[in-house]
């Protein structure tokens, strides 16, 4: 891979699990996420860092971790979108914790390339991705973010299909990191008052 082929990475790619803020904070928020290739992990980390302040502690965990949500005042739950749905582990986490999540402010987010599509029909389609999850828990807010996809990691028909999908979403042909840190941070800052009320 030469220098021209190396993609620009706008946010971390990975599966972070961190605690932000001191233990004496007044409010405690959980940001829990499901990520297939690490793009959504970077989005969740950005959300977590934007939510922490002098009165708020934030724990960031993958949904597969053993998490006792009863110790949290609010939850932000999100996932990558595959096949028009959250990853199964995110939906499973929601189902397993729906009673507690219904008692506290809970926000949802999704990460997928279709978010880039701007026609009314496409916006309605993306809005329906979480219809089943909204029936389980009514979120106080919902964020939709464009993700990252690097088709050069895949060979054959899979890589070709990914190039086609990226082009269909209006993101060119090469793939890359399409996440917008400013949009993600702004959303997290906007929902902060809804989570700590």
Distance CA 36, CA 39 (A): 8
Confidence of residue 4 (pLDDT cuts 50, 70, 90): very low
Confidence of residue 171 (pLDDT cuts 50, 70, 90): confident
Q: What pLDDT, on the 0 to 100 scale, is given for residue 167?
A: 83
Torsion angle (degrees, nearest 10) of CA 48, 140, 136, 121: -100
Pick the more confident residue, 7 or 30. Answer: 30
Q: What is the pLDDT of residues 39-67, one digit of tens each?
A: 999 999 999 999 998 889 999 999 998 78
Residue (of 192, 156, 166, 195) closest to 50 by Cα position? 192
Buried b (16+ CB within 10 A) or exposed e, 111-141: bbbbbbbeeeeeeeebeebbeebeeebebbb
Q: Delineate the domains of the chain, giving CATH numbers in brackets.
A: 3-149+178-195 (3.40.50.360)
pTM of the model: 0.89
């Amino acid at each position: 891979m030469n220098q021209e082929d190396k993609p620009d990475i706008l946010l971390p790619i990975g599966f972070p699990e961190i605690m932000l803020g001191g233990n004496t904070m007044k409010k405690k928020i959980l940001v829990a996420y499901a990520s297939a290739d690490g793009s959504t992990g970077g989005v969740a980390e950005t959300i977590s860092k934007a939510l922490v302040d002098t009165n708020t502690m934030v724990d960031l965990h993958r949904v597969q971790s053993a998490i006792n949500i009863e110790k949290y005042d609010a939850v932000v739950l999100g996932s990558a979108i595959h096949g028009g749905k959250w990853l199964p582990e995110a939906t499973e986490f929601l189902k397993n914790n729906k009673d507690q999540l219904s008692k506290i402010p809970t926000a949802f987010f999704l990460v997928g390339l279709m978010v880039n599509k701007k026609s009314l029909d496409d916006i309605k389609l993306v809005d329906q991705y979480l219809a089943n999850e909204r029936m389980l828990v009514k979120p106080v807010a919902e964020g939709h973010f464009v993700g990252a996809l690097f088709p050069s990691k895949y060979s054959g028909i899979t890589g070709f299909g990914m190039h086609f999908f990226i082009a269909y979403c209006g993101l060119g042909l090469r793939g890359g990191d399409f996440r917008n840190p400013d949009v993600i941070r702004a959303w997290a800052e906007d929902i902060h008052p809804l989570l700590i009320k």
